[in-house]
Amino acid sequence: MPELPPQDGLLGSLLVLLGFGADWCCYDLHLLKNPLPERPGQRGSTECLQRAVLKLLHYLFHTRNHTFILLHLVLQGMVYSEYTCEVFGYCRELEFPLHYLLLPYLLLIVNLVFFTLSCVSNPGTITKANELSFLQVYEFDEVMFSKNMKCSTCNLRKPARSKHCSVCNRCVHRFDHHCVWVNNCIGAWNARYFLLYLLTLTASAGTMAVVSTVFLVQLVVLSDLYLETYVDDLGHFQVVDIVFLIQYLFVTFPRIVFMLGFVVMLSLLLGGYLCFALYLAATNQTTNEWYRGDRAWCQHCPHAARPPSAEPQVYRNIHSHGLWSNLREIFLPATAHYERKKN
């Protein structure tokens, strides 16, 4: 079964964090192509539906398009519109500090800058002109990356840590993954922009969640609602509990509570993916290397099936040189180091 390029986003983040990768996508498409038995009368319409779904999935995840960029901007615009129209106005009436309320807007501006850079910047495309310089940047480990390997599509020698992206149809230096949310590959030259984009996006969602939560809590405290009692279905007086407070706030401020639930969920997902991305940066790994290294580790398990004559080759990360050196390589790509030494 062919291996697909790593993807990200909400679904991709969950798959990466749960330990799944490209094979999950292949398995999913395999189920669509080989469904459960069906009645003869349903066959024609079912096949048409399957073809339509496969075409849609292929367009969304395996061709370059701006669908997820537009979706990203629409969702971000809706959340900030709700924050501006509802939370900001109420918080001003409660005399919240202005700089506290303006922090999400500052994070939005910074986030959009790094989002744009992630979308339009060159990830490190390998061409005939720079092929030789890229070949000298990283050492070949002869396990995951072997010398004298050629890309069958680009007809170029493959530098260590590079990979051909089937979506962009190009080989990328220090390939990490193809991100549908920025419609671009993440490689050596734009990994810093993507990491800062992810950091500011997580921070903006978390900040709005904190502001909205503080507003609702202060509203409950100022109104002494938590001291009240209510009559239950049996006619007994009950002290207000957390479930009743949430129900009351949802009925009174449905849009704010719904937005709060969305940004809290988003903060958790993005926070988990950010921790994973920071771990990869701190250990000088890419998503592609982590995924392939994880599979290589699984193939060395005692129960893993492999030919009896095959000798095990243990993958070892030879590119990690300490935390600060690894982070410096993200923000000052290794190609720049090499060019400076050569001069």
Specify the DSSP class assigned to residue 182: T
pLDDT at 3: 46
Mutual orientation of helices 191-222 and 254-282 as an angle, nearest 10°?
140
Q: Which residue type does 121 have?
A: S
C-alpha closest to that of 271 among 14, 31, 90, 89? 14
Give the SS3 label for residue 224: coil
| 186 neighbors 194 (Cβ within 8 angstroms) | yes
C-alpha closest to that of 176 among 297, 270, 285, 24? 285
pLDDT at 312: 55
pLDDT at 333: 87
pLDDT at 295: 60
Residue 133 to residue 115: CA distance in whole angstroms: 28
Q: Record the pTM.
A: 0.81
170-172/177-179 β-pairing: unpaired
Q: Which of 151, 179, 185, 298 is catalytic?
A: 179
Continuous H helices in 139-286: 191-222, 242-252, 254-282
DSSP string, 111-137: HHHHHHHHHHS---B--TTTHHHHHTT
Average pLDDT across each block of 10 residues of the chain; the chain has 343 residues. List them in order.
47 43 43 52 77 91 94 97 94 93 97 98 95 92 89 94 94 96 96 98 97 93 76 71 84 94 97 97 95 63 46 75 93 63 45
Specify the DSSP class assigned to residue 49: H
Active site residue 179: yes
CB-neighbour burial class of residue 11 (10 A; exposed 0-12, middle 13-18, buried 19+): middle
Neighbours of 58 (CB within 10 A): 11
